[in-house]
């Protein structure tokens, strides 16, 4: 999330030997390779690394007695995240049977942990997603409503409430994911653009070099009719980050230069 890709790659290589079977380490590797993929490096090699690490997380999960780990990154939550990455991968490859299989696994995990929202911020996050997106899908069409008939009742307002609580988590990954989903929900679904900007702003302050967060924030500011002067300053900040960040790897620099240069607001 901080876009320190070279440091992250070096750190993975250093601790690989002693932690290679630790599901938490494997999960973090999956997360790293996903960020590589969505920053201009979507290729078969990166997809294969994401798939193998997500599957390894599922097969190497252990129940730890460490209370803090159980709270901040429980084995159930790691299963949820791993199936989530596999769902995204199969969406990209249009393998819809596998997509449905992993989506069902995610929903099954959420269903089992709906009563655990007070146990861990990670379950506030997953339960918040469930309540919001299941209710949103049910309201979108009768087809989705019928398909979700046998799932528990949902409440989008309660989902938003839980996501806001998860956004304040001490676990930086959970808080970042919750803020990101809230920003996208307000931006894309609820049309509450100022609320979206509020959550994007939290992310860009915490991770000023994260060009994906900056990209979405800038687009939200355009939609909110910010002045050309403010928009230009935000765009220049992004371009400066691209040029000055020696941590970018592979095709990332060119990728972000292209997408920011395409943004017009005159």
pLDDT (tens place) for every residue of the chain, 266 residues total: 788 888 888 888 888 878 888 888 898 899 999 999 999 999 999 999 999 999 998 888 765 556 566 666 778 888 888 999 999 888 888 887 887 888 888 888 888 888 888 888 988 998 998 888 877 677 665 544 444 444 567 678 999 999 999 999 988 889 999 999 999 999 999 999 999 999 999 999 999 999 999 999 999 999 999 999 999 999 999 999 999 999 988 789 999 999 999 998 86
Residue at 20 is within a domain:
yes
Q: Quick one: 105 and 194 in the same domain?
A: no
**Alpha-helical runs (H) found in the chain:** 5-19, 23-37, 44-60, 67-72, 75-92, 96-113, 121-140, 142-147, 156-166, 172-184, 193-206, 211-223, 228-244, 252-261
- Token pair for residue 171? 């676990």
- Report pLDDT digits (tens) over 78-105: 888 899 999 988 888 888 788 788 888 8
Domains contained in the chain, number: 2
Which of 24-30's residues contact partners 24+ apart within 8 Å by CB, and which partners? Answer: 24/69, 24/73, 24/78, 26/53, 26/56, 26/57, 26/60, 27/53, 27/57, 27/73, 27/78, 27/81, 27/82, 29/53, 30/54, 30/57, 30/81, 30/82, 30/85
Q: Quick one: 3 and 94 in the same domain?
A: yes
Give the domain-ending residue among 57, 80, 110: 110
* Average pLDDT score, the chain: 87
Kindly tell me the sign of the dihedral angle through the C-alpha atoms of 83, 89, 94, 95.
negative
* pTM, full prediction: 0.87
Distance CA 33, CA 257 (A): 21
Give the domain-ending residue among 110, 133, 168: 110
Q: Quick one: 106 and 9 in the same domain?
A: yes
Residue at 9 is within a domain:
yes
Q: Quick one: 98 and 3 in the same domain?
A: yes
Residue at 230 is within a domain:
yes
Beta carbons of 197 and 221 less than 8 angstroms apart? yes
Residue 197: domain span: 185-266
Give the domain-ending residue among 64, 83, 110: 110
Q: Quick one: 2 and 98 in the same domain?
A: yes
Beta carbons of 176 and 203 less than 8 angstroms apart? yes
Residue at 238 is within a domain:
yes
């Amino acid at each position: 999330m901080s876009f320190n890709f070279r440091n992250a790659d070096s750190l993975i290589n250093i601790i690989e030997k002693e932690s290679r079977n630790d599901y938490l380490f494997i999960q973090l590797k999956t997360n790293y390779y996903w960020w590589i993929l969505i920053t201009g490096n979507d290729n078969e090699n990166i997809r294969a690394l994401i798939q193998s690490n997500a599957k390894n997380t599922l097969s190497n999960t252990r129940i730890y007695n460490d209370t803090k780990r159980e709270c901040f990154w429980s084995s159930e939550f790691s299963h949820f995240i791993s199936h989530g990455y596999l769902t995204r991968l199969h969406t990209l490859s249009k393998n819809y049977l596998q997509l449905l299989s992993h989506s069902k696994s995610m929903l099954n995990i959420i269903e089992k942990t709906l009563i655990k929202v007070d146990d861990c911020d990670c379950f506030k996050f997953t339960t918040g997603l469930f309540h919001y997106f299941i209710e949103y899908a049910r309201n979108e069409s009768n087809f989705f409503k019928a398909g979700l008939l046998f799932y528990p009742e949902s409440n989008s307002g309660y989902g938003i409430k839980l996501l806001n609580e998860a956004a304040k988590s001490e676990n930086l990954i959970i808080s970042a994911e919750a803020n990101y989903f809230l920003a996208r929900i307000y931006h894309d679904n609820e049309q509450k653009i100022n609320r979206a900007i509020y959550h994007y702003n939290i992310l860009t302050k915490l991770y000023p070099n994260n060009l994906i967060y900056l990209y979405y924030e800038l687009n939200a500011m355009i939609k909110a009719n910010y002045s050309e002067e403010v928009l230009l300053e935000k765009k220049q900040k992004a371009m400066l980050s691209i040029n000055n960040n020696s941590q970018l790897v592979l095709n990332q620099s060119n990728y972000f230069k292209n997408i920011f240069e395409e943004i017009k607001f005159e």
